[in-house]
Amino acid sequence: MVQVVVFDFDGVIVPSETLKQEAFKRIFSDFGEQVPETESDAARQEFSEARGNRFDIIRSTLKRLGRESEDAVQRYAERYDAITRNEILQLGVLPEVRNVLERLSKKYPLYINSNNPDGALERTVSELGIAQYFKAFLGSSHSKRENLASIAQRERVNGSEIVFVGDGEGDRRAAEIFGCRFIGIGDAVDEWNGRGFTVVRSVSEIEPHL
């Protein structure tokens, strides 16, 4: 029986995956710096599927360009945060997603489990006006599997009583390793069909599957 529902953030609560991919290019191009897309794309691929965060991707890109330094990583990360924050706030949360979160929050403890830095995640969720639906927002200071374990400990439940809603293979793998149910969402629907877990197009469709 489901006792706790956990959501990934990007691509699940907000459709932000594409804009975040573009932001790794814009941290250079928006400031008049020319960086080959192959370098940025290779760095993102290296740390895809929750294998790393924005700092890892930026550090890898700069290393490929021979410009690696922690000061530079921090500077470009600040650019990235500013770009993505503004874009996400413009996107907002779809009304049907907000309605589902409101209904579910009255039945279950809800959490966010994201690869975003903890502080940036909490700030964005608050600015989107949905913080009241969640008990906590767990970011990249720990892995997604570790965050799931922390949630289970907080709620005093076992893995079989948790559902993790995510849109990436890294999310699915974290759920599998931890031992909780997984609901796949978004663009991976066709790729995931027949994999033995529920797959839907949007958060707005998950209620019948809990």
Q: Which tens digits make up the pLDDT trace of 136-147?
A: 999 989 999 999
For residue 14, count CB atoms less than 10 angstroms from its CB and return exposed for 0-12, middle for 13-18, buried for 19 or more: buried
Provide the 10 A C-beta neighbour count for residue 95: 9
- Residues 192-199: what's their mean pLDDT? 77
CA distances in angstroms from 53 to 26, 47, 57, 151, 152, listed in the order given = 17, 7, 6, 21, 24
The residues spanned by each domain of the chain are 4-14+93-209, 17-90
> What is the overall mean pLDDT for the chain?
86
- Residues 33-48: what's their mean pLDDT? 66
Provide the 10 A C-beta neighbour count for residue 98: 18
Closest CA to 121 of 175, 85, 164, 73: 85
Superfamily classification of domain 4-14+93-209: HAD superfamily/HAD-like (3.40.50.1000)
Confidence of residue 41 (pLDDT cuts 50, 70, 90): low
108: DSSP letter: S
Asked if 123 and 174 touch (Cβ cutoff 8 Å), the reply is no
pLDDT at 129 over 90: yes
Residue 86: the pLDDT is 83
Residue with tokens 């839907």: 200
pLDDT at 50 over 80: no
- Residues 85-108: what's their mean pLDDT? 94
Residues near 194 by Cβ (< 8 Å), separated by ≥ 6? Answer: none
With 0.75 as the threshold, say if the pTM is over it. yes
pLDDT at 122 over 90: yes
Number of H helices, E strands in the chain: 9, 6
Lowest-confidence range among 3-17, 36-50, 59-73, 189-203?
Answer: 36-50
